Amino acid sequence: MSVSDVAASTAIPLSYEDVYRRSIADPEGFWREAAGAIEWDTPPGARILDSSRPPFYRWFPGARLNTCFNALDRHVEGEGPTRRLSSTTARSPRPSGATRTGSCATR
């Protein structure tokens, strides 16, 4: 039974400890389920963890996602026109003294 199945079948939400225990007991199953909560360009396949070259482990080998979309865009979909975050554009010039890494004052 998955974490979401347990949560759906009970009125009591799962505690942090319950979720943590599941992540330790079945890390691949836990992260496979968690991966279902985001949008993927290429979804994860059968392998969730590639441990063929320790210590260089890879989660979700072969899968591909758009991090910006998952972090921002999907939360405002359907809410009409949205302002997109971007680096400097012609319509949003950098403030005086700004650098690419932030606006640092000269000392």
Kindly state whether residue 12 falls inside one of the protein's structural domains: yes
pLDDT top residue among 78 and 107: 78
Question: The tokens of 90 are what?
Answer: 């012609």
Kindly state whether residue 42 falls inside one of the protein's structural domains: yes
Domain that holds residue 17: 3-77
Secondary structure element (H or E) that encloses residue 60, with its range: none
Q: How many independent structural domains does the chain possess?
A: 1
Per-residue burial over 53-89, b = 16 or more CB atoms within 10 Å of its CB, e = otherwise: eeeeeeebeebebeeeeeeeeeeeeeeeeeeeeeeee
Using the structure block, give the residue that is written with the tokens 């909560």: 37
Instruction: Report the predicted TM-score, pTM, of the whole model to 2 decimal places.
Output: 0.57
Kindly state whether residue 14 falls inside one of the protein's structural domains: yes
Chain segment 42-69, per-residue pLDDT in tens: 999 999 999 999 999 999 999 999 998 8
Dist. CA 48–CA 60, nearest whole Å: 5
Dist. CA 47–CA 62, nearest whole Å: 9
Question: The tokens of 52 are what?
Answer: 């063929």
